Amino acid sequence: MKTSKVEKNVTWSLTLCFVLISLITISFPFCESFDYGQALSHSLLYFESQRSGHLPYNQRVNWRHHSGLSDGLEQGVDLVGGYYDAGDNVKFGLPMAFTITLLSWAAIEYGEKIASAGEYAHTMESIKWGTDYFIKAHTKPNTLWVEVGDGETDHYCWQRPEDMTTSRRAYKIDENNPGSEVAGETAAALASASILFRKTNPHYSQLLLHHAQELFEFGDKFRGKYDESVEEVKGYYTSVSGYMDELLWAALWLYKATEKEEYLKYVLENAYDFGGTTWAMTEFSWDVKYAGVQAIASMLLMQEKHKKHEVILKQYRSKANYYICACLNLNNASKNNVDRTPGGLLYIRQWNNIQYVANAAFLLTVYSDHLLATNQKLQCQKSEVDPNEIFSFAKSQVDYILGSNRMNMSYLVGYGPKFPQRVHHRGASIESYKENKCFIGCTQGFDNWYGNPKPNPNILIGALVGGPDNNDQFRDARGNYEQLEACTYNTAALVGVFARLYNLE
């Protein structure tokens, strides 16, 4: 029987479709369906891996043990506790505080959704582990201990935190050595956390608020860059944006926590001089808070009591919209948009790029929900955008992170069939203290573990590594710290997004 030309074309088209579907399935084996609930659970486990101090009875990450139990002793202050920021054993105050602010904001926005996934208690534990430490570190109204250990000596050694022989010297800011960035960010962390503890632990909530208010007043009254007072932080967490964004950020969180007009007045009166309504950003990070400030200020516009401030708040909104539109590639000039890899991942810079992606995903999710709740659309230079489109893009970034990418790699450790095996992390890369209580020295760690090509003996579940390069390529080698080191603020940014996505299911 003869086959007509039309039938041949249909057969050919169907064959092509099946081939394309097969190729897509091979390229992205689990791109269609992700277990966001598991991703959320994993992300909260990660914070237990990063704990410093005396670990609690309910510690779930059992390859870790007590560490840093004499922190602050040399300076006569108790600085036991808190978090190691990444794969090293230093406690850096600025990124630690930003981590807690992100976690608190996630719980404020998506607390019910986190609870529905069964992870609210773990979220609150993660936050309190940080806030307990900040209370200790804030020893006087105008004194805050902002670092324990130093990057230089720490990077000479490859040791488990349980074996540390490196310097544990502590560094502080005070009236004579100001540090408005870290004072402001710590105030923001404590103020945002105080909102969460108001119902379940009102006394603790008030204590957090008290410290937050004192720290904000200290940071504002004695203005100065913290990396000029604590030079040991330079090269690790240098403040490029300065401290004005942190002061605006802290004031906004204090306003949300107290509803005192003095804090809103601060945000409005300093809007122009501090760059809140003048800086148009394409980055939101532990250093650059402007986009977060602008987004929160924008959300105040929908409340009737803020109508009288709408002129300035609309200026804030204009800059918040710029950031969102930049992520969506909808500003007119390409230089005003965020670059993307060929696979569609936002790309800011080479070292730990995924932190910017995670922060963007969170901010876009919160902003899209705000627009949806108030029946608004986003006005970009190129087009008008529905809030669902914003959220869809945020989801695409998270899905890329979880495995929908050219490497078929989940960049969230422990999630999916393929994830990084050699995370640049001292504790994870050396045999667990629970299994081997023998002391492992500074150079011994380098000799026996750092250069070992085998996978890490301990899986750093929930760690979000630095991620691929600008061509979507990724090399799983422990020495590749630009792509293989994970940080607390990477993972913290996705807690709220995972909860939001989980509830879609």
Query: Which residues are the active-site residues?
Result: 88, 424, 476, 485
Contacts of 355 (CB under 8 A, 6+ apart): 285, 286, 464, 466, 487, 489, 490, 493
411 within 8 A of 401, measured Cβ to Cβ: yes
Token pair of 447, please? 């000799």
Q: How far apart are CA 387 and CA 384, in angstroms?
A: 10
Token pair of 167, please? 């310097």
φ, ψ for residue 339, nearest 5 deg: -65, 160
Token pair of 20, please? 């394309």
Q: Where are the alpha helices (DSSP H) in 305-424?
A: 310-327, 354-373, 387-402
96 within 8 A of 131, measured Cβ to Cβ: no
User: What residue has token string 């890490």?
Assistant: 456
Q: How far apart are CA 37 and CA 95, in angstroms?
A: 26
Backbone CA torsion sign across 70, 71, 73, 74:
positive
Alpha-carbon distance values, 333 to 324, 364, 378, 390 (Å): 14, 21, 18, 20
DSSP secondary structure code for residue 69 in this structure: T
User: Three-class SS of residue 145?
Assistant: strand
DSSP secondary structure code for residue 162 in this structure: G
Contacts of 395 (CB under 8 A, 6+ apart): 501
What is the dihedral angle through the alpha carbons of 360, 46, 122, 294, rounded to the nearest 10 degrees? Answer: -20
Token pair of 115, please? 């609870």
181 within 8 A of 246, measured Cβ to Cβ: yes
DSSP secondary structure code for residue 308 in this structure: G
φ, ψ for residue 63, nearest 5 deg: -85, -5
DSSP secondary structure code for residue 332 in this structure: S
User: What residue has token string 């909530």?
Assistant: 205
Token pair of 225, please? 């860059």
How many CB atoms lie under 10 A from the CB of residue 117? Answer: 22
Counts of helices then strands in the chain (DSSP H, E): 18, 7
> Hey, which residues does 148 pair with through a beta bridge?
91, 170
